[in-house]
Each structure stands twice: as structure tokens, then as C-alpha cells.
Amino acid sequence: MSFSYYEVYTTSLRAFSSMGFPYGADEDAAYIIAWLELNKFNGLNSLVDSIGVLDNKYDGKIKLNSHNDTSIDLNYASLLMKGPGLIDFYQSELDDKKDLHITLNNCADPEYLLPLLFRSSKKIFYCNALWLDTNSLIQFCEVKNNIMKIGIASNQEPINKEQVRIYISNEHKFQKKFDSVTCTITSKTIQDNLANGISPDENNWKIISKLAARTFVPESEESRIKGAGGSDDAND
């Protein structure tokens, strides 16, 4: 069954709200999931897998390392909660620097960075990120001018498991070389995906819809009476 981006975003937004994400954090998290789903990265599947660590466990606070604020221990907390604040922070740190190298340790869900980095390209000239995937291949993405490339890049400095290295820059100084680009995201690919609609896994959709339904107020006679359209002249 085909869904629109609006439906995926709205349903995710309600799901996050139902799980205790505050106003604003729910919007960021819904954006991450809807963007991933639209661009065929199975965002809803990732969300379903994360429900156990998110539901009524929201913690978006981030403690900076007093000696080195470009290295953060996420302690396996989801980037759905911590990611938006981190990107904002590093964007502000970039104001008086040419570039920044950032390391996230103990990061459980690096793919959530993709939508955040894509969005940040409206403000940050160039950024890239790399991490090890489950097959120990180095996943690499880079974003410039609203174009994101994602692929494999083996010829890199060693990277630890569950570590993410991010580079953001006000100028395009260097570019790591891809072994292969598996995906390119542009405004055209996004338009194409919107034109085709989104077809999430049916079971995942049911689970997220059920979470979203927790934000709806149960029906009551009193509530119905006050709704729009209730009058005795409907045939008039």
C-alpha cells in the first residue's frame, strides 16, 4: 500500500509524541524517520526496532566532555534523541572555525545521521561521516549543496566499532574517496520517490500507527456533540 511522505511524517510524529518526546524533539525524530523511509533506508523498520529504548525513555540531554567537546560518548543512546542537538551544537561551533572533526563513541544507530547531515547542508558547506557497518565495511557519506552520496570507502584511517567520525567544514578542503557509491540523494531523487509514494512494511506501519493512536483522545458523546457539523439541518 502506498503512503505519502506527509502520512509517514505525521504518523511518526504522533508516535514519538506518544513515546514522550517533547515538542520539537518529536518533529526532529519524525523528520529523521520519514526522510529515511522516503529515501528507501527503511526508517520505520529502524524505529520499530528502537521502540524498546525510546518508549517513555526520552533523554535528549548531552553532557559535553570538558576537555574535548568534539568527542562524545553516546553510551548507546539513540541519535533520534541526541542527534538534532548535537548537529546544532557543532554547527554553532563551526562559526569561528574552518572545520571540525567530531567523534561519536558508542553510537548504536549511525544511519540516523543521514537525514540530519542532509538537512544541515542548508547551513554547512560540506560534511561527511563514516562508521563501520555490521559487515565491518566502512560506510561513508558526504553532503554538499544538498546532494548526498553514500557508499563504501575502505581506504580510511582505522575506525572502531560503534564509532562515528564526522567532518564538517566551511570549505571543501578534502574529500575521501569512495570505493563505490551505493546511493545518491538529490532533489530529483526525492521528487521521484514522492511521485512513487512510500510503501512501508505493513507490519511496521501497523505498529507505528498503534503508537500514534495513543495520542488520540477516546471518543465520548460529549466530545462528539461539540464536533463540527452537528446540526439538525444537514438536509437543508
Partner 1 sequence: MLEKSLTINESFGYMTLERMGSRYPSRLSFSRSMLRRMKKEKWVVDRVKFDLDKDGYGTAIYEINTLNQIYSVVCFSQFIPDEERSDRVIAENWDTTYAMHIGKISAKDLDRFKKNTPLQEAGRNSPCELVLSRGNKSVRLFKKIVNCLSIGQQPTIEEINDVGYLLRTTAVYGSGKFGLSDFDRTRSTTHFDQPFRAEMLAVYIIREFSIHLVEHIAYHQNPSQAVKLNASIKRHIGIGNSTGLGMAPFIIKHPKLIHKWMSQFDKVLNEIIKIKHIDERKLNKLSSLLKKSKSYLDEVLTTDDYQKTKNKKSFYELDKIIDYCKSIKTSDLKDTRWNDLIKFSEANLSFDAQEIVKVQIIELFPEIADPLAEDMSESDDLFIDPSATVNELINIIENRYQWSIDTDFQNKNNTYLFWYISEEKLEPRLGERYNEQGAELEQHLGIGKMVSELYHFLKENSTETKNLTIAKFLLIHPEYRGIIRRIQTLTNYPFGEVSDNILAKNTLPLNMLRFKLSFFGASRYDPKSDRWLRVSFFAGAPFYEELNSQNVEDWGFATMNSYQ
Q: Which of these, 128, 210, 138, lies nearest to 174 by C-alpha position? A: 128
The vertex-103 CA angle with 168 and 166, nearest 5°, equals 30
- Grouping H, G, I as helix, E, B as strand and the rest as coil, residue 221 is helix
Residue 7 in the binding site for partner 1 (CB under 8 A): yes
Choice between 173 and 188, CB closer to partner 1:
188
Choice between 115 and 151, CB closer to partner 1:
115
- Minimum distance, C-beta of residue 102 to partner 1, in the bound complex (Å): 13
Q: Give the x-and-dash track for 85-104 against partner 1 (CB under 8 A).
A: x--xx-xxx-x---------
Residue 22 in the binding site for partner 1 (CB under 8 A): yes
* Strand-pair partners of 181: 151
- Minimum distance, C-beta of residue 85 to partner 1, in the bound complex (Å): 5
Q: Give the x-and-dash track for 106-145 against partner 1 (CB under 8 A).
A: ----------------xx----------------------
Residue 42 in the binding site for partner 1 (CB under 8 A): no
Task: Cell numbers for 110, please give them.
Answer: 549511525
Cβ distance 38 to 25 under 8 Å?
Answer: no
- Minimum distance, C-beta of residue 27 to partner 1, in the bound complex (Å): 6
Rounded CA gap, 7 and 205, in Å? 11
- Minimum distance, C-beta of residue 61 to partner 1, in the bound complex (Å): 6
- Minimum distance, C-beta of residue 103 to partner 1, in the bound complex (Å): 17
- Grouping H, G, I as helix, E, B as strand and the rest as coil, residue 46 is helix
Task: Cell numbers for 137, please give them.
Answer: 565495511
| Residues numbered 61-90 forming contacts with partner 1, rule: CB under 8 A | 61-64, 81, 84-85, 88-89
Residue 227 in the binding site for partner 1 (CB under 8 A): yes
Rounded CA gap, 109 and 16, in Å? 17
Looking up cell 513515546 gives 19
Residues in contact with 161: Cβ distance below 8 Å, sequence separation at least 6, in sequence order: 132, 136
Rounded CA gap, 83 and 60, in Å? 8
Choice between 133 and 194, CB closer to partner 1:
194
Residue 216 in the binding site for partner 1 (CB under 8 A): yes
Q: Which of these, 72, 91, 71, 84, lies nearest to 170 by C-alpha position? A: 91
Residue 220 in the binding site for partner 1 (CB under 8 A): yes
Site residues for partner 1 per CB under 8 A: 1-7, 22-28, 60-64, 81, 84-85, 88-89, 91-93, 95, 122-123, 190-191, 194-197, 213, 215-220, 222-224, 226-231, 234-236
